[in-house]
Amino acid sequence: MSADNSSNGHSSSNETIPYTPVAGQREAAAERRKGYPYRFPRDPRLLGGKFTVAENGRRLLRFFYFERRLMQALGAWTLSIPEFEVKLETGRHIFYHADAARLLRERLSEQEMRLKDIDAFHDAEIDGFFDELLSAGHAPELLVGMHQVIGRALATVYRHHIDDTCPVTDVPTIRCLRRILTDYEPMLEWADAAIAAYVEGGVEESPLAAWRWHLQRLLASIGGVTGSDPRGEAPSPLRTTSKPFARGTVPLRDVRFDTFKSTGDYDVADGQERFPKDSYEALRLRFIRTQRDEVDAIEAFGTFIWDIRFKDFQAEYDLARITWDEARHTEIGHRALLAAGYDPFELRNRLTGSTCRGPMEPAFAMAEINLFGEVGVLKTINQLIDAAASRNDELLRHVSDFIRADERTHVRKGGKIIQVMTDLSAKDLELRTRELFTECLVSLGAVKKDMDVFTVSREDIEHLVGE
């Protein structure tokens, strides 16, 4: 309210609400203010912004959709990234995008939108962009597209949105975007360093630059992240025109790994026992190796996100969180092997489970890793933690304590995820899963088929495939 208005008691013509004083009130307020001694910090935010609720919602919905598609797209590539460090980091990034999508979805539900409609939203142009992004030829190209093109574009748009929206009326959106950027900053920084590492290690730089340019033009052709930028012409030809994207089915490892898939048993794979079977030392090493080899669980849960995409947001979100947890378990295993005196790469890496799960329908692969694998871990981990504590083995006690908490959480979430994946009864699901794994384990030579009618037990699967 301006001083001019108050002096004559009338509003100027462009004020929508006229100032109408009641005699004495303003003077009384000024008098009361004199008795208030506190000078609290001034809040400098100014009222006003560029967006209506409808336009805010339109933009946030696109942000949500990009984040959801990024989570799914990285999931689709988890099997196909060979480099250990990149696979691990990608497991973490999947969750960053999932969590960004969750925050945006929640804010959208406060901006006149229903969760049902938010979850059902699709955009064919954005889908086309992701199809091309997914057609990366190898992991360095994947990082270029996911981080240097779309990741960076999103971070820029989020910062602009923070600047452009009203800092008073729409502060929940600002807080939401700031929290997302907290994850983006280290993620994009890591990606730049990782791409530089690929180039320094011999990956040709020029094709990466060409791919970056190609995707940037494609993004510009759909009006950028917001859809409101001036549209450029789409690049041609697109890779997806000649070859539509299909996710990989084979788990890849980098050259430092010595892998095996013809057995699930580490001693058989090594050709000898390091410690007497069932001794504490044997169980301890097996546990730590299994954690490191949960690099295959990043692949399993990441792939499920892709395979069940758009069926149920909560299931995608829970899978993304489990994917990150499994990346942590892998890191825990790697570090624990170092602390136990090993070069983690001297220990052969088990690919048995991931090889079977890779091409499988998600319900059966999920039943194996969750209902057999993770439930199986919980059957023995209490004893292991107690044995570690009584031996003063602080390394094993520490890591297995946290892993137990994680795996209990995975088992709890798993039940709901499986319901999204299949209508089969628990009994039918278990039987069909055992049949499929018997077939796969026989084909790998991990079990011998000695009868006409033969299906491995769930205990065998727990032992052979692990988790």
Indicate the DSSP class of residue 350: E
Q: 56 vs 400, which CB is nearer to Fe ion?
A: 400
Provide, rounded to whole angstroms, the least separation between the CB of residue 391 and Fe ion: 23
Residue 102 interacts with Fe ion (CB under 5 A)? Answer: no
Q: 132 vs 294, which CB is nearer to Fe ion?
A: 294
Residue 412 neighbours by CB distance under 10 Å: 11
Of positions 99, 294, 316, 462, contacts Fe ion by CB under 5 A: 294
Residue 210 neighbours by CB distance under 10 Å: 13
Q: Under rule CB under 5 A, which residues in 401-420 are in contact with Fe ion?
A: 407, 410
Q: 154 vs 298, which CB is nearer to Fe ion?
A: 298
Provide, rounded to whole angstroms, the least separation between the CB of residue 467 and Fe ion: 6
Contact predicate 16/125, CB 8 Å: no
Contact predicate 98/43, CB 8 Å: no
Q: At what angle do helices 280-292 and 394-421 cross, to 10 degrees?
A: 50
Q: Which stretch binds Fe ion (CB under 5 A): 203-211, 224-232, 239-247, 326-334?
A: 326-334
Provide, rounded to whole angstroms, the least separation between the CB of residue 91 and Fe ion: 11
Strands, DSSP E only, in 282-381? 349-350
Q: 57 vs 373, which CB is nearer to Fe ion?
A: 373
User: How wide is the angle at C-alpha 437 spanned by C-alphas 436 and 439, nearest 5°?
Assistant: 65
Q: Which stretch binds Fe ion (CB under 5 A): 91-99, 216-224, 400-408, 448-456?
A: 400-408
Count of residues interacting with Fe ion (CB under 5 A): 6
Provide, rounded to whole angstroms, the least separation between the CB of residue 296 and Fe ion: 10
Q: Is 98 exposed, middle or buried (0-12, 13-18, 19+ CB in 10 A)?
A: buried
Q: 53 vs 378, which CB is nearer to Fe ion?
A: 378
Contact predicate 98/320, CB 8 Å: yes
Contact predicate 414/374, CB 8 Å: yes
**CA separation for the pair 460, 352 (Å, rounded):** 13
Q: Under rule CB under 5 A, which residues in 359-388 are in contact with Fe ion?
A: 374
Provide, rounded to whole angstroms, the least separation between the CB of residue 366 and Fe ion: 11
Provide, rounded to whole angstroms, the least separation between the CB of residue 410 and Fe ion: 4
Provide, rounded to whole angstroms, the least separation between the CB of residue 297 and Fe ion: 5
Strand, coil or helix: what is 286? helix
Of 338, 316, 343, 326, residue with least CA distance to 406 = 326
Provide, rounded to whole angstroms, the least separation between the CB of residue 326 and Fe ion: 5
Contact predicate 250/358, CB 8 Å: yes
Q: 51 vs 287, which CB is nearer to Fe ion?
A: 287
Which amino acid would we find at residue 327?
A
Strand, coil or helix: what is 111? coil
Q: At what angle do helices 53-76 and 124-134 cross, to 10 degrees?
A: 30
Q: Is 310 left (phi over 0), alpha (psi -120 to 50) or beta?
A: left
Provide, rounded to whole angstroms, the least separation between the CB of residue 112 and Fe ion: 38
Strand partners, 260: 350
Q: 98 vs 195, which CB is nearer to Fe ion?
A: 98
**CA separation for the pair 139, 125 (Å, rounded):** 24
Strand, coil or helix: what is 138? coil
Provide, rounded to whole angstroms, the least separation between the CB of residue 166 and Fe ion: 43
Tokens of 287: 């546990």
Residue 329 interacts with Fe ion (CB under 5 A)? Answer: yes
Provide, rounded to whole angstroms, the least separation between the CB of residue 64 and Fe ion: 27
Q: 66 vs 372, which CB is nearer to Fe ion?
A: 372
Q: 141 vs 294, which CB is nearer to Fe ion?
A: 294
Q: Which stretch binds Fe ion (CB under 5 A): 124-132, 229-237, 291-299, 379-387?
A: 291-299
Q: 53 vs 405, which CB is nearer to Fe ion?
A: 405
Provide, rounded to whole angstroms, the least separation between the CB of residue 328 and Fe ion: 8
Residue 328 interacts with Fe ion (CB under 5 A)? Answer: no
Q: Which stretch binds Fe ion (CB under 5 A): 11-19, 307-315, 320-328, 356-364?
A: 320-328
- Residue 335's contacts (CB-CB under 8 Å, 6 or more residues apart) are none
**CA separation for the pair 320, 93 (Å, rounded):** 9
**CA separation for the pair 174, 161 (Å, rounded):** 8
Q: Which stretch binds Fe ion (CB under 5 A): 168-176, 200-208, 318-326, 423-431?
A: 318-326
Contacts with Fe ion, residue ranges (CB under 5 A): 294, 326, 329, 374, 407, 410
